[in-house]
Structure 1
Amino acid sequence: MTYTAKYPEPYCKDMFGLPVLMLEHEAPEQFSLLLQQGFFMPVPKVCSLREFLCELVGVCGVYTEKSLQTIFLDGSAVDDIDQATIRPGCRLALSAAMPGLVGATMRRDGYFKRMREGISLSSRQEEETDSEQDISFRIQVRLYNAVGRDLAGLFLHQGIILSSSDLMQFFKSRPDKFFSELKSVKFQSSELTVEQGNLESLNIPEGEVFLRVVSGEKE
């Protein structure tokens, strides 16, 4: 199920003080492999998983209920996204329905969820402290299978944090078609021309980078 709603305004304005790489690409879903490997997302304050997905990232409505069939937060399976809390350092994985008995067992509110009670997220997580409530932080996110393809544009529109080495490795593995659909590149507001055989022109320093990818049809 492709996510078709208009993308919301990016909520992270300071980019965590990181160097910013801005791309315009016609097919953000081609970044899905990168998103499966894992990346970091900024979060302005402690919130529920639903608030993070819907109010911040923009994943709402039918897609949230019907297509996000498998969710893990800190290694625990999530059934209720209103009860799950996003707090500093947590790890979030989102997936469509997975095949077989294992997939059926991990599915949100599925018939076989009783079989995984030992790894299900407790309905009562620890309450956040006052010091946690109003500080910005980051979480690790992984997007798998169809969810990665469907939501790549939405997460990349908001912006993600990853290491420059992981990003360059991803670029080096891309076919010519990927670069033919890459319409513009800006690094720290400077326009660059990047082709598959000329990746050195990016000249991204070692360390972390804030990557944002826009696609004209959803802007």
Structure 2
Amino acid sequence: MDKAIIAIDGYASTGKSTLSKMLSSHLGLHYIDSGAFFRGITFLALEKGWINNENIYQEAIELGLKDIKIYYNTSDNKLILNEIDITDKIRSKLVSSNVSKIAKLPFVRFFILKQQRLLGNSFGLVMDGRDIGTVVFPNADFKFFFTARPEVRAQRRWEEMKASGYFLSYEEVLKSLMNRDKVDTERKFSPLKKANDAIEIDTSDLSLEEAFTILITKINYK
């Protein structure tokens, strides 16, 4: 199990990140939040003016990627960009509202894909995202796909945002999630979809402990 690769894909607010962390800790594997990479590039693009409300300057982004160093420190789950810890800066509302625009760019996904596979070649890990089992690690030892009803996911996200000091209505959060789903599933390059050999888990009516038990049971059974 030391070198095992576990791919967990799924929709936003299905619990996949929390469960991935729980699973990696339980199995003694490294945890990689693949979404952090995309958020890091989005943060940089916003800082540099490569993206705004009206435009995405793709050429500037593509050129800019040649001069950056980004990596994920698995010892403390920190995202490091050009030797600076930006972990606390990539969860802002501004980054969240723009990350899907960056994530759909093929050259960005290819750039991050190389970083992800380097990590997978180095040690066993649990990685969550939207194309981990289909594109990043198609030969992963275990693959899971998380889903949940949209209204349940929106409620979860709304409660998380309230706790973090962001005050949007439930309706706004639901609309945002539905828009994100549309972008993720309809993009041409690496769309969100269930791998043919992935185990699907619907977390709509499951507690974290119940979902975790299912994960461990499936892994032990295999």
Scaled to the shorter chain, the TM-score interval is: under 0.3
Which structure has the larger Rg over C-alpha atoms? Answer: 1
Report the structure, 1 or 2, having the larger strand content. Answer: 1
TM-score of the aligned structures, taking structure 1 as reference length? 0.26
